[in-house]
């Protein structure tokens, strides 16, 4: 490990699609695909060399994902309905359940 990798803990490089300012006017919550939710939050820790558990490619039960997102776990804060509605969360949980592990990730 070189000195900077050791010190800085490089995060995942996360590509994101532009989605700013398209919040649903009734709820105030942006309409987002699972990939967009992943890119804007989960993927920072669960998608790269951070030591957060890898989630994709493990067939995680959807309800388990929903529970941890809503209630938090260890260092992960909860994500409330005021930022992630039930429908979007359910779609995210299904996407995580069904996603294969990316080539760079090995489930641990």
Partner 1 sequence: MSSIEPPSPETLSGFFRECAAIVGQEWVKVGEDEVAPYGWVAIPFDTAAHMPAGAICPHSADEARAVVMAANRAGVALWPTSTGRNIGYGSSSVADPGTVVLDMRRMNRIEDFDPDLGTVVVEPGVTYHQLQEFIEANGGGYWIDFPGPGPIVSPLGNTLERGHGVTPYGDHFAHSCGYEVLLADGTTFRTGLGGVEGTTSWQSFRYGYGPTLDGIFTQSNFGVITKMGLWLMPAPETYRTLMAVWPEYDDITRLTDCIRDLRMDGTIQTEGVMGNAGIFMAATHRRSDVWDSREALPQELAINTAKEFGLGAWNYVFTLYGRADRVEADYTEAKRRLEAAGATVTDGRDEQAINELTLKSFALFNWTGGGGLTWFSPVAPLRGADMKRQFDLVRAVMDRHGVDFMVGVAFGERAALNVMPMAFDRGDAEWMGRVRDCYTELVGQVTEAGYGIYRTSLGWMDEVARRHGEANLEVNRRIKRALDENGIIAPGKSGIRS
What span, in angstroms and rounded, lies between the C-alpha atoms of 54 and 35?
15
On whether the CB atoms of residues 56 and 101 are closer than 8 A, the answer is: yes
Of the listed pieces 36-44, 57-65, 88-96, 97-105, which binds partner 1 according to CB under 8 A?
36-44
Q: Which stretch binds partner 1 (CB under 8 A): 5-13, 55-63, 87-95, 97-105?
A: 5-13
DSSP secondary structure letter of residue 31: P
Please state, as a whole number, how many other Cβ atoms lie within 10 Å of the Cβ of residue 72: 12
If one asks whether residue 63 binds partner 1 (CB under 8 A), the answer comes out as: no
Binding site for partner 1 (CB under 8 A): 1-4, 6-11, 14, 16, 18-21, 23, 27-30, 40-41, 44-45, 50-52, 70-75, 77-78, 80-83
């Amino acid at each position: 490990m070189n000195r900077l990798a050791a010190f800085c803990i490089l995060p995942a490089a996360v590509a994101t699609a532009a989605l700013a300012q398209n919040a649903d006017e009734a709820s105030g919550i942006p309409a987002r695909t699972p990939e967009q939710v992943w890119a804007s939050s989960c993927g920072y820790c669960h998608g790269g060399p951070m030591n957060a558990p890898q989630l994709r490619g493990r067939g995680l039960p959807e309800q388990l994902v929903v529970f941890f997102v809503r209630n938090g776990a260890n260092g992960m804060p909860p994500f409330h309905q005021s930022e992630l509605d039930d429908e979007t969360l359910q779609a995210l949980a299904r996407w995580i359940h069904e996603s294969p592990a990316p080539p760079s990730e090995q489930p641990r």
